[in-house]
Structure 1
Amino acid sequence: MPPPTLRLISSSPVSTVAGLSPFPPQQPISNQNLSVNPNQENRRKGQRHLQNQIQISRRDAAFLSLISLFPSLFQPSHASAFSIGISGPKDWLKEQKRKSSKFLLAPIDASRRSLRSAYLLLMDEESTNSNKDLEEVQKLLKSAARDCVVQERNSFVAFQANTGVEVCTFRLIVKNASSLLEDKNPVKLEAEAMLDDLISLFTSLNSLANETDIQVASSRQRVADALLDTITSLDKFEQGVKDCLKV
């Protein structure tokens, strides 16, 4: 067993023992090894900021996509809104719908472009108006109808429709745009009526294009007139959707 060690305890932190001077103060740590290159630090901060922005943007995009696909999941009850002057969840959802309106209206604009292309093809004086041109017109009309004409649906889409799954793009647009409105809201009812007129015109237009010989000038003009009527109806339908979104 080692002998006990004798320790001297000073009553004062600055006192000395046996005339010895106090311990020398600890030398400060040199900052030479701790210095950070300002350019490296700025790059690190910029990278962290960029990563945060990318994460936020991805979350926002994913959330808006979820709202667009499943609006019923985000439709709050009538009692959920605040009544103390603070905008409630329903007001917030309306704002999100307005911000994402260009994505919701994109299929309508694509259909309008297809209809205009078909019209220009019919009215092209240099065109031979052959069967190939007719096939191209029919293809453009089918694309513009967005699976809303029953006769033009393929077997898979028809199967979905028969099983109760909505496949008409225009009807899905109306449901999404008006999901925060009451069932009897006049703006919603007007948009639904415009949709019915639009689908009726698309149906007539497709039937006319399938039965008409576009090599005959008078028949070709009938299809062109029907195209213009459908474009006008599509414009009205788009405005009805915008009214639902209040944009």
Structure 2
Amino acid sequence: MAMAAATMEARHSEIHQFSLQQADKSVSTKCSTASRRLSLVSLAVAITACSQKIDTAQAFSLGTSGPKEWLKQQKKRTADFLLVPIARSRERLESAFLLFSSSNPLEAGNLIRIAARDCIPVEAGSILDLQSRTGVEVCTFRLLVKNAASLLDNSDPVKIKAYLALENLIRSFTYLDESVTAPTSSTEVANAFELTYAALSTFEAGIRACLGIA
């Protein structure tokens, strides 16, 4: 009996050891599988990143004019965004003329300054004055030209014409603001409105030319 009991105990011990070995093998297999999956994921990420770099490199390996032409197309897609401030200024300019015609020069002057988009001289010590003194560009129209003409050479006639239109627009808005706020004849103010409206249209045409759109 003692011998049989010893045999049974030895048999149980062997079964227990075998179970432990199988469990260890299972854990090892799972760890190995997880490790392989992680490696595959890492490899896939690396391949994707490499592919993206290759695509980008191919996109910009079209010669000297390749990237420039691509950027021009991107600018054309943002043309509407660049032209919105001009359209809003035109609307406010028209409203300002109606207010002035209704004998409300104060409100007309306020709308004119809004339509000018921080491009006319401001009161000394104001926030806009301080910003301009620190080199911050506050004139929206000037920012529009810089953006639209950034891909053109400085000697490009289209760019030169756009900047001339900008300066003319600023002068027109400045003169209009002074005409409305100063004791000027209605005829002179009406002429100033007409000149500013025309200058705004010329400026818009210059922006469109820089962007290469009709």
TM-score (norm 1): 0.60
Question: Could you tell me how far 1:152 is from its partner in structure 2?
Answer: 5.6
Q: In structure 1, what is the Cα distance between the partners aligned to 2:194 and 2:125?
A: 26
Corresponding residue for 2:11?
2
Is 2:188 the counterpart of 1:222?
Answer: yes
> Structure 1 residue aligned with 2:72, among 63, 80, 94?
94
> Structure 2 residue aligned with 1:113, among 68, 79, 91?
91
Q: Do the aligned partners of 1:147 and 1:168 also contact (CA within 8 Å) in 2?
A: yes
Is 2:206 the counterpart of 1:246?
Answer: no
Q: In structure 2, what is the Cα distance between the partners aligned to 1:140 and 1:105?
A: 19
Supply the AA of the counterpart residue of 2:96: A
> Structure 2 residue aligned with 1:82, among 62, 69, 79?
62
Tell me how large the CA RMSD over aligned residues is: 2.2
> Structure 1 residue aligned with 2:200, among 234, 238, 245?
234
Displaced runs of 4 or more, over 3 A: 151-154
Is 2:122 the counterpart of 1:144?
Answer: no
Q: In structure 2, what is the Cα distance between the partners aligned to 1:156 and 1:169?
A: 15
Q: Percent of counterpart pairs with the same letter?
A: 44
Question: Could you tell me how far 1:122 is from its partner in structure 2?
Answer: 2.9
Structure 2 counterparts to residues 1-247 of structure 1, below 5 A:
1-2=10-11, 82-83=62-63, 88-123=66-101, 127=102, 129=103, 133-151=104-122, 155-212=126-183, 219-247=185-213
Q: Do the aligned partners of 2:123 and 2:129 also contact (CA within 8 Å) in 1?
A: no
Q: In structure 2, what is the Cα distance between the partners aligned to 1:170 and 1:238?
A: 10
Secondary structure at 2:11's aligned position in 1?
coil
Corresponding residue for 1:57?
none
Q: In structure 2, what is the Cα distance between the partners aligned to 1:190 and 1:117?
A: 28
| Structure 1 residues 139-191: Cα deviation after superposition (integer angstroms, max 9, x where no partner) | 11101111110136871111010111111110000000001111111100000
| Structure 1 residues 89-124: Cα deviation after superposition (integer angstroms, max 9, x where no partner) | 22111111101101111111111111111122333x
- Where does structure 1 lack aligned partners over 5 or more consecutive residues? 6-79, 214-218
Question: Could you tell me how far 1:212 is from its partner in structure 2?
Answer: 2.4
Q: Do the aligned partners of 1:147 and 1:153 also contact (CA within 8 Å) in 2?
A: no
Q: Do the aligned partners of 1:178 and 1:245 also contact (CA within 8 Å) in 2?
A: yes
Supply the AA of the counterpart residue of 2:145: V
Supply the AA of the counterpart residue of 2:206: G
Q: In structure 2, what is the Cα distance between the partners aligned to 1:181 and 1:171?
A: 15
Cα 1:81–1:232 change in 2 (3 A) is farther
Q: In structure 2, what is the Cα distance between the partners aligned to 1:203 and 1:223?
A: 12
- Number of aligned residue pairs: 159
Cα 1:89–1:225 change in 2 (3 A) is same
Question: Could you tell me how far 1:88 is from its partner in structure 2?
Answer: 2.1
